[in-house]
């Protein structure tokens, strides 16, 4: 493995998780026939926002490093092994004397949609002074999520000062969210975030309102609606690829991995969105987050099929 100070295509900083996935015959409900149901299958699979995104980058051929915290338990060992097998460098992964982040995922086998119940020990928080500054400064892209905001904002600052692009995975709105957006060159949001920030229900208008404060690319993932982005004053909309959905877990993370790959390759935003949508679609055809990470050949086959919605 390359040393921490060597050149990286992407360094990702954020969450990992070990997921207990319960495949169910429907979506759980508080009453009625789906208030109780038998579990069809159960799987233990690795995931987490940034861990999955960076594993996707590695699968696409990028020189990829993951920075975060794992536990000292068996699940911590499991996530380290999974990332190493995915050809992700984990030499700056911090190990804490705590149980690794975990989740219970209730997966509706009829739709592929899921409910995620997660737990993370506060001892797993990555501190801003634990960052590998040399690796961040040697990256072409630094990708951060919003789990440990202090560390994410500082990492983005180090990367920007070194001339790197900064991408994000923003899934919630906090008092520090504006700082994180401002630190990014390509801020990527879950669908609900722009309306929470602006109070505007129309997505394009919400992004144009945000443009008054932020000069980077603003991108939103929309699940089976595809993705949109505001690049300067140009609004791009790319539909999703229709596929037989098995599990949507990790699809947004794989989208980010695909987008980062396209960014490193110098693709324009419209093509980057299309490539990332195809990556996310392929990931939905198999179970699990890291387990669903596609290869470049699989993505290109879907792109060439012309099946976009």
Q: What is the mean pLDDT of residues 108-125?
A: 94
- Per the model's pLDDT, the better-predicted residue between 2 and 229 turns out to be 229
Higher pLDDT, 7 or 272: 272
Confidence band of 33 (pLDDT split at 50, 70, 90)? confident
Residue 306: band (very low, low, confident or very high) from pLDDT cuts 50, 70, 90: confident
Statement: residue 128 has pLDDT above 90? yes
What pLDDT shows up at residue 34? 85
According to the model, what pLDDT value does residue 309 have? Answer: 59
The answer, yes or no, to whether residue 26 has pLDDT greater than 80, is yes
Query: What confidence score (pLDDT) does residue 308 get?
Result: 67
Average pLDDT score over the chain: 95
Q: Residue 270 pLDDT more than 50? A: yes
> Once rounded to an integer, what is the mean pLDDT over residues 131-142?
96
Prediction pTM value: 0.94
Alpha-carbon distance of 205 to 155, in angstroms, equals 30
At 6, the pLDDT band (50, 70, 90 cuts) reads low
pLDDT beyond 50 at 281 = yes
Q: For the residues 136-163, what does the mean pLDDT come to? A: 97
Classify domain 8-16+49-74+87-98+124-305 at the CATH topology level.
3.40.1190
Check residue 1 and give its pLDDT: 40
């Amino acid at each position: 493995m390359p040393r921490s100070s060597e050149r990286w295509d992407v360094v990702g900083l954020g969450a990992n998780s070990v997921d207990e996935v319960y495949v169910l015959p429907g979506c759980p409900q508080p009453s009625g026939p789906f208030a109780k149901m038998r579990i069809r299958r159960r799987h233990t699979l690795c995931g987490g926002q940034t861990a999955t995104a960076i594993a996707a980058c590695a699968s696409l051929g990028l020189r990829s490093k993951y920075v975060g915290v794992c536990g000292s338990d068996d699940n911590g060992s499991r996530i380290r092994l999974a990332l190493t097998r995915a050809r992700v460098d984990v030499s700056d992964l911090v190990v804490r004397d705590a149980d690794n982040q975990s989740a219970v995922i209730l997966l509706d086998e009829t739709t592929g949609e899921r409910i995620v119940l997660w737990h993370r020990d506060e001892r797993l928080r990555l501190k801003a002074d634990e960052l590998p500054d040399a690796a961040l400064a040697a990256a072409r892209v630094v990708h951060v999520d919003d789990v440990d905001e202090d560390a994410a904002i500082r990492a983005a600052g180090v990367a920007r000062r070194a001339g790197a692009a900064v991408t994000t995975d923003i899934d919630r709105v906090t008092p520090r969210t504006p700082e994180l957006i401002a630190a990014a060159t390509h801020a990527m949001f879950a669908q609900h975030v722009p309306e929470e920030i602006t109070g505007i229900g129309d997505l394009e208008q919400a992004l144009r309102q945000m443009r008054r404060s932020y000069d980077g690319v603003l991108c939103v993932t929309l699940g089976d609606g595809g993705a949109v982005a505001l690049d300067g004053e140009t609004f791009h909309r790319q539909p999703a690829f229709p596929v037989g959905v098995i599990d949507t877990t990790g699809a947004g993370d794989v989208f980010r991995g695909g987008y980062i790959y396209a960014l490193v390759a110098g693709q324009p935003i419209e093509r980057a969105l299309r490539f990332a949508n195809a990556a996310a679609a392929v990931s939905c055809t198999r179970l699990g987050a890291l387990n669903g990470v596609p290869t470049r050949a699989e993505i290109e086959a879907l792109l060439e099929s012309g099946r976009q919605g």
